[in-house]
Structure 1
């Protein structure tokens, strides 16, 4: 397992940024540092997604930043150029996987086809939306039969996290509850920091 993936498996809870402006980056970085949860998955489907990755990677090198919801090879390439250290994609695109592997950037694409994983030498996948893909039965089957691990997502609430993270095939989860849209809109960074601290506890237990 590469260093970045190992770090994510130790952190376990990866905050997903879906609603953030570049001017809020210093506040986000402060909250991540104060909580000890120094990782963030930035959606590349928001207008400033690539710029957010760039600002975080350039000015806050102690924070591990990745590109989330990457839906094309071009988006993956731009995210990596901006400084993304990992890529989440809801697709399984061979060319995107090859690009990331060439750059030594771990990618966690989504598929329920184990043969694709073997062919592309992947042993950690994304899995979302969780329920639509078949949930725990699919996770357990693929994990047991093909020795695969997963980083899950898809409307996972804070109070549901234990049931996911207790599964032996799930390395980590990524979700937006740690960076709540309404709290960000209200610049309520106290609430955000407290949510990040609660998430951080999962890597300490």
Structure 2
């Protein structure tokens, strides 16, 4: 794993989860988020032309943010995403084959987990961090409680994290948060309101920064 990339991805405390956005609007959207201070950009594999979008976004913004693939369900998808230039692989599930393959390629691997046992297995298999998903079901108290015995495992809540609960998750021990629909606002994207999207990103980065060390 490239430690500098990993640290850069986490430095803002926010990873924007871009899912099923019109490919023609992804670049201006990413630019708005980066201008707002976001340092992690995830393009989900169930998006239109996901691989091409990852390649193009990486080529244009790789010096300003860390660009990766999300909703990676298996080794085959991980292989395609890495070939397209993904700096990290995010998964909603825990798959040993995917974790081990991604790590063999020297790429950041963050699988999805829901229980302490899955967190332990992810760590044993070589994951760099775990994505607690769906985080809104478990809540900040879950992160705080498991971070006692599992303090060596870094956690990123994703799913239902918004401006109202982000600070609570960060205070509970999250090192960053994956933010989807509450940041990747479809109506603002449709109207191409990049200024307001940048301002929204700034709010998230500021909120995360209130707690993040």
Taking structure 2 as the reference length, what is the TM-score of the superposition? Answer: 0.85
RMSD: 2.1
For structure 1, the 5+ residue unaligned runs are none
CA, structure 1 residues 156+32, in 2 after alignment: closer, same or farther (shift >3 Å)? closer
In the alignment, is the contact (CA less than 8 A) between 1:67 and 1:84 conserved in 2? yes
Compare 91-100 and 46-55 and name the one that shifted more: 46-55
Give runs of aligned pairs for residues 8-23 of structure 1, distance below 5 A.
8-23=9-24
Q: Which residue of 2 aligns with 1:81?
A: 83
Q: Which residue of 1 aligns with 2:94?
A: 92
Give runs of aligned pairs for residues 25-36 of structure 1, distance below 5 A.
25-36=26-37
Taking structure 1 as the reference length, what is the TM-score of the superposition? Answer: 0.88
> Deviation string for 1:62-93 (max 9, x for gaps)?
23111111112111111111111111101111
Q: Which residue of 1 aligns with 2:175?
A: 171
Answering whether residue 61 of structure 2 is matched by residue 57 of structure 1, we say no
Give runs of aligned pairs for residues 56-205 of structure 1, distance below 5 A.
56-62=57-63, 63-111=65-113, 112=115, 113=117, 114-122=119-127, 124-132=129-137, 134-147=138-151, 148-168=153-173, 170-176=174-180, 177-202=182-207, 204-205=209-210
In the alignment, is the contact (CA less than 8 A) between 2:55 and 2:84 conserved in 1? yes
Measured in 1, the distance between the counterparts of 2:142 and 2:131 equals: 13
In the TM superposition, residue 118 of structure 1 has moved relative to its aligned partner by 4.1
In the alignment, is the contact (CA less than 8 A) between 1:16 and 1:175 conserved in 2? yes
In the TM superposition, residue 152 of structure 1 has moved relative to its aligned partner by 0.7
For structure 2, the 5+ residue unaligned runs are none
CA, structure 1 residues 94+56, in 2 after alignment: closer, same or farther (shift >3 Å)? same
In the TM superposition, residue 203 of structure 1 has moved relative to its aligned partner by 5.5
In the TM superposition, residue 53 of structure 1 has moved relative to its aligned partner by 0.8
In the TM superposition, residue 137 of structure 1 has moved relative to its aligned partner by 4.6
Measured in 1, the distance between the counterparts of 2:49 and 2:90 equals: 17
Measured in 1, the distance between the counterparts of 2:139 and 2:203 equals: 25
